[in-house]
Copies of this chain bind each other. A is one copy, B any other.
């Protein structure tokens, strides 16, 4: 119980997220909400997609990274920021830092996809490569911190990052009517945390459901056993959802999320394909996970109104699964 008590102290409120939005509003895109008549006809419900794939750097991560950077003191800013990531958070932090004229030191495993490395470089990130193990990443990060004095911006175990990610759902307030359900993917839980805090605050009866790959179901297990279970050998095409929850995100998810639904790799690919085909937008596999959870439970969601947070659109086009 001590853990839960501690984390609850850190739970952001709607007010925190509104203030985050005031701060980052001029730096982020207000992303559009799209729908497809054919998808609605196919599923017998109303699905609206909040398109964070159109966000800067192609993912919601830009919101949290921007917010965390804007909250730094001038002294902290002068030493720059650092993180270890081979995914969207690395690019987001590098670009957000560059826009504020501060340095971003990114620790990346040396087997990181070339396209991700190029993206971080193009945003002006200063890359240090390390061996592709968590231990090497953490050791290298510590070394970079010691050498530079840079502030570590964790991709999700960070109050300000979570507040930033919540602003996507906040924008929905004047974009859609109160939905029956809001769906988001869950990896480390930053987006889900921010989303659930906002959804439960701005709407009366909306339920928040997360989609998670069956092959990386640590959040599902943690949520249902009420004990933080780390991801063990996660292996999914949804490469943004392989991380484990943190104490902070787990606390928020336990409090505000109603349910986590897991889906198979085939279900993720099928959902991704439907989005490309009918919605005509490019999404990454992680973004298809919550939609796959809706499709899988089609009968249950008949005539319901659903909003899905589409997390990002950074996909290697040579590796599309169809």
Contact = CB atoms under 8 A, between A and B. Distances in A.
Interface string A279-322: 11111000000000000000000000000000001000110101
A100 interface: no
A101 interface: no
A32 interface: yes
A320 B319 CA distance: 11
Contact of A56 (B37, B54, B282): B37
A38 B115 CA distance: 14
Contacts of A277: 282, 317
Contact of A280 (B122, B273, B282, B318): B282
Contact of A276 (B32, B38, B54, B317): B317
Nearest to A55: B280
A27 B37 CA distance: 13
A48 interface: no
A318 B320 CA distance: 9
Given A32-B32, A273-B317, A54 B282 contact: no
Given A276-B282, A281-B282, 13 more contacts: A32-B32, A37-B56, A58-B280, A276-B317, A277-B282, A280-B282, A280-B283, A281-B281, A282-B282, A317-B320, A317-B322, A318-B322, A320-B320
User: Helix, strand, loop or mixed for chain A's interface?
Assistant: helix
Q: How large is the interface on A (under 10, 10 to 19, 20 to 34, 35 or more residues)?
A: 20 to 34
Nearest to A54: B280
A34 interface: yes
Contacts of A283: 280
A53 interface: yes
12 contacts: A32-B32, A34-B54, A37-B56, A38-B122, A54-B280, A58-B280, A273-B317, A276-B317, A279-B282, A280-B283, A281-B282, A317-B320
A116 B279 CA distance: 17
Contacts of A313: 280
Contacts of A34: 54
Interface in A25-69: 32, 34, 37-38, 53-54, 56, 58
Interface string A179-220: 000000000000000000000000000000000000000000
Contacts of A317: 273, 276-277, 320, 322
